[in-house]
Structure 1
């Protein structure tokens, strides 16, 4: 449906995040909180890190975005999140973020439907509305 950037997220005021962008190489060795294994997004991040000879330091694991945000807001640890997650999490935590560049790390937001059975009018309508909302938030 939509492609979005990845951001390094830390506590508000963190000096590492003073610029609007941050090079992927700056992730080398910094403590990160990430989703628990197995996780395809984490696998992708490690693949990119390997290609660029960067060592990702997954110091904590949490499958809850809210828990990740609270860990990050306490300072000293970072997360790699998309803009939609950050927008929601900023309502409950004081966070700061910089877009990861050089290389950029795109995220792909997808809507999946079961291949079994027929799509109802309601399903098709929800799909269309979801696509419109996702495009409007770019």
Structure 2
């Protein structure tokens, strides 16, 4: 068994702790690990003794993380990833990337990007397994910083320079509406025109919404946010079904535009551009699998602007 330090911290104990946290049940985690629950529990107890505190609180319905457990969990993820990368590289597997890669995708591009990324990765690197999480930019940046995901996409709406991160896509923000609305057929729409429309927008905190409210405030415009949602799918449904209006880049509604279900008009005066970045977590060294997934994802996102 691989021991991580002289105090006896063992990789298998960490793996079982992570499994218990993910399953929320010692019985389910032990079954997934393929070991008896008694042995599973002993390894967790050994880890808790090594770290000097309880990691999991046992309840009648399963287990929940203690304060120490919440602190240790991201570090455990990082150590397990480092151990996996070490085995991969020591075994010469850098020529054949393998392992689980956690990817964070923005709601505006999760469809069709999830399917496209899976198809591309499966064809080129069949030993890589993807786990995809959909979240807004702020959430993705937090998950990257804490090491909960390996690769993530996020947006910026203000001009700035970013070190070590290349913009992969820059798109104008558009007014999204159902056909036949008050601005139907227009080549573009002034920002001030949004003040008279019922809008569906992301729930706070959200960087795009914050920018829109800032711009509206400077122009003394009152925006009517009729509905708040947490996904681009719900946003598009509200526009098509309820006569609301949204602000999204054209690539987020390309399927609906092709089918004539929605219309898309760039917003001007001021124009607002959405710039998309892709980054990898800094909590641990990027494995060859993570690097390859980031490369393929960058290429697919760039194609959205073609």
Same fold (TM over 0.5): yes
CA-atom RMSD in angstroms: 2.0
Counterparts in 2 of 1:91 and 1:66: CA distance versus 1, 3 Å: farther
Tell me what 1:5 maps to.
172
CA contact (8 A) 1:8 1:81 kept: yes
Q: Distance in 2 between matches of 1:36 and 1:96?
A: 23
CA contact (8 A) 1:10 1:75 kept: no
1:67 aligns with 2:234: yes
**Equivalent of 1:115 in 282, 296, 303:** 282
The Cα shift of 1:26 comes to 0.8
1:14 aligns with 2:181: yes
Q: Distance in 1 between matches of 2:204 and 2:248?
A: 16
1:37 aligns with 2:204: yes
CA contact (8 A) 2:173 2:247 kept: yes
Task: Decide which structure has the larger Cα Rg and report it.
Answer: 2
The Cα shift of 1:47 comes to 1.1
How many residues align? The count is 138
Q: Would you tell me which structure has more helix in proportion to its own residues?
A: 2
Higher relative contact order structure (alpha carbons within 8 Å, sequence separation ≥ 6): 1
Unaligned 5+ segments in structure 2 are: 1-167
Q: Distance in 1 between matches of 2:186 and 2:227?
A: 25
TM-score normalised according to structure 2 size: 0.42
TM-score normalised according to structure 1 size: 0.87
Tell me what 1:23 maps to.
190
Q: Distance in 1 between matches of 2:234 and 2:212?
A: 20
Tell me what 2:225 maps to.
58
